[in-house]
Structure 1
Amino acid sequence: SGIYLDGTAGGGGHAQAIVQELDAKGRLVALDLDEEAVNHVRRRLQQFGQQVIVEQANFKDFPQVLTGLHIESVSGILLDLGVSSYQIDQADRGFSFSRSGDLDMRMSRSGEVTAYHIVNTYSLEELENVFRTYGEERRARAVARAIVRQRDVRPLQTTVELKEVVSRVLPAQHQVKSLARIFQALRIAVNQELNNLRETLAVSLEWLAQGGRIVVIAYHSLEDRIVKTFFKTQAAGCECPPDFPVCVCGKKARVRILTRRPVRPKEQEIKRNPRSRSAKLRAAEKIS
């Protein structure tokens, strides 16, 4: 029973797994920023009727969605971060360097900023900062310089064009990993993913019922670091010096961390779903 929130419905796999475990009183609210994903999930879960509510929204806006549905708290929150397999497989979205498509990368097609805009209008320093900050790419400067040099001739339009330009300045043995970092960095910048995650975590416990659980699946170190730090901070109790006879700070632990180490996919799952290889799942339970 209870109400559960899937903030990143994607193709609907997790949403379906959740709703199948609910009893007759249980409900699921599933969100996704991508209109196509929302329509897909609605079709996939229509057999569950009014037990499932699917809305188009950024997961950071879940408080407004729940308020609109007259929901005051939820028993569980799930965030499966990053781009979904459903989106990666659509070449025209531009998320993958292994498929030819426009330099888009928007989670929602209504978003204003695209990868094309960043690649073709950001300064050399701004591009370098994007690749270094969001991609943790050591060759950020060289990649940014190659892009600026090429766009002075003509704008970069497609994922293939960007891949070709970037590949020229990457050592052959590191090309695939560096390309993945560059595309990741652009996607994060386009969609403000890290800011959205911080905003969501900051308010998540206010909406989680006592004993409720929050589960976050991250796919790269930047996301995972944010989640790990948040859980650790919220699990910390009294901060008074050890020689104080009584607590005066009044700080109490708000969560109990359920995953001392992140849960990683087993080899069998990786074989079935290679994209799960880098996944790290962390979970916490609200205790106050």
Structure 2
Amino acid sequence: MLSQLIDTHAHLDFPDLIGRIDKVLDNAQNTRVTKIINVGNNLVGSRKSVDLGKKYSQIYPSIGLHPHVLVEDNLFNEDKLIDNQIFEIKQLLGEEKVVAIGEIGLDYFRLPETPFDFAQGKVGEIDIKRAQKELFIRQLQLAAYDNMPVIIHSRDSADDTLKIMNEFSNLKAVFHCFSYSLEIAKEIINKGWLISFTANITYPNNKDGQEIIRYFDLSPIMIETDAPFLAPQGKRGTINEPANLLEVAKKIAEIKQIKLEEVADWTTKNAVNFFDLKN
């Protein structure tokens, strides 16, 4: 019998899941997903994540400000300074069961090609990249001060992400929903950081992800759903849940031609060690 699986990245506070969370957690338990890291992506979500951790024993909160908050939460506006949000995140670090800072990082996907109007004037690609880097660095500083692991979101921004992370080389870090090449994976893993895979490895066109899984042993790898996003191949277009983590583990076992139990044991051990989870 499969021992357990740990979903290292989900958003149970999102509308698609929170309204039926008890059922979602039951479904997860039925596929042996016994622990879930609920990842904050803005201040409100981080607070909700902490609340979920207090209510449910199997949920462990992570808190942080995703790079998209700069636009989505109007943080270019002088009335909502980043300072205030960083202060609030720092306060949340003292809350019960918080296991990481994240998701934090850089996201250069679909940046505006031309400057757009914002509260303080025109904002363009250079401004957004600069602000994302500042937000990222300030949260890494928090993590370094409190000796917390970090969950990294990096999309179309590998060079800048690694340049910044190299200044924080002693931090425990996982690059979530890994989508870069084998060469970048080697650079990350050689520095002692981890990578995490979602059900996008079940997509036939994800050759890079499958190549990386074949190349490395399981010691630097964790698994996640990123629920409610990225449902497995056979369920694409549906709302993803932590229960589907089993499909990620099965795909890794298939790619590596090993037993499912070996994938479960390794990825569980990696998650327990990374997040310092208590059994």
TM-score greater than 0.5 by the shorter chain: no
Larger Rg belongs to: 1
Please, what TM-score do these two structures have when normalized by structure 1?
A: 0.35
Quick one: higher RCO (CA 8 Å, sep 6+), 1 or 2?
Answer: 2
Please, what TM-score do these two structures have when normalized by structure 2?
A: 0.36
